[in-house]
Amino acid sequence: MYTAKGRLDNNALLTQYSPLVRRLAHQMIAKLPANVEVSDLIQVGMMGLNDALGRFDARQGVQFETFATQRIRGAMLDELRGADWMSRGNRRHQRDIESAVHKLEHRLGRAPLESEIAAEMGMSLAEYQDLLGKVRGTQLLYLEDIGGGSSGDGDEDFLDRHVSDAEANPLARLQDQRMRQALVKAIEGLPEREQYVMSMYYEHDMNLKEIAAVLGVTESRVCQLHSQSIARLRARMRDW
């Protein structure tokens, strides 16, 4: 596409290839935690596309779409790395919650109450609920849970392994029928209100505000329930 002066029409090309950006963003978001917004990936991807338009040289013998795809994905990955969407501290706190839940379930033979989890962690109920709001549990699976991570924090090449390597992709593991059955059973064992939260959030694609309105609670309370649900599920899925 060219302008009247015979130059490439970047605006027209941005419009033409914007569906490519959206497609790549949706492919990537499926392999990332729920707190990563697809709109943010699309915005960064459009900047990557614009960069590709400025750098593309047809004389190199590469198709523009192939070149642009690399630039767009690279821009998205760089953004995700810089965003530090889940800090080591929060991941450690979420593991502490998970460990307390795991111990209590074995000891009590049932899903522990929030007050019981708080007591196990040596906290007041208010302190525990505040911690739930801070960790904003988002990951059912961590990299080191499925092998390949050599560092204790599971940070080594995290995004590359999640997004680029199909063998290391946690979602690929969820396609295993036995694991899916175990996950369904674990979800069915959640307290009723937490089951509702998981269903509305993941099955019906509702946001925190919408879920809060349905349950008659605050958005921060929904966030706490979601974090606690993830901790319970991870505690029950340890063998996977």
Residues 24-54 pLDDT 10s: 988 887 666 656 778 888 999 999 999 998 8
| Alpha-carbon distances of 55 from 25, 64, 65, 202, rounded to whole Å | 21, 10, 13, 39
List, as own/partner pairs, every contact residues 139-143 make where C-beta atoms lie below 8 angstroms and the sequence separation is at least 24, other chains included: 139/33, 139/86, 139/230, 140/170, 140/183, 140/230, 140/233, 140/234, 140/237, 141/170, 141/173, 141/174, 141/237, 142/91, 143/168, 143/170
Instruction: Tell me, yes or no, whether 65 and 158 share the same domain.
Output: no
Task: Tell me whether residue 132 is in a domain.
Answer: yes
Query: Per-residue pLDDT tens for 92-113?
Result: 888 899 899 999 999 999 999 9
Instruction: Tell me, yes or no, whether 148 and 218 share the same domain.
Output: yes
Instruction: Tell me, yes or no, whether 26 and 132 share the same domain.
Output: no
At 203, which CATH number? 1.20.140
Query: What is the pLDDT at residue 168?
Result: 44
Query: What is the pLDDT at residue 152?
Result: 42
Query: Per-residue pLDDT tens for 200-212?
Result: 887 787 888 899 9
Task: Tell me whether residue 173 is in a domain.
Answer: yes
Comparing CA positions, the residue from 110, 117, 114, 172 lying closest to residue 141 is: 172
| More confident call, 37 vs 86 | 37
Instruction: Tell me, yes or no, whether 60 and 99 share the same domain.
Output: no
Task: Tell me whether residue 5 is in a domain.
Answer: no
CA distance 70 to 145: 29
Instruction: Tell me, yes or no, whether 95 and 194 share the same domain.
Output: yes
Report pTM: 0.54
Query: What is the pLDDT at residue 240?
Result: 58
The number of folded domains in the chain is: 2
Task: Tell me whether residue 4 is in a domain.
Answer: no
Q: Which domain holds residue 131?
A: 88-236
At 71, which CATH number? 1.10.1740.10
Task: Tell me whether residue 25 is in a domain.
Answer: yes
Does residue 239 register a pLDDT over 70?
no
Instruction: Tell me, yes or no, whether 220 and 104 share the same domain.
Output: yes
Instruction: Tell me, yes or no, whether 48 and 107 share the same domain.
Output: no
Q: Which helix (H) or strand (E) holds 239?
A: none
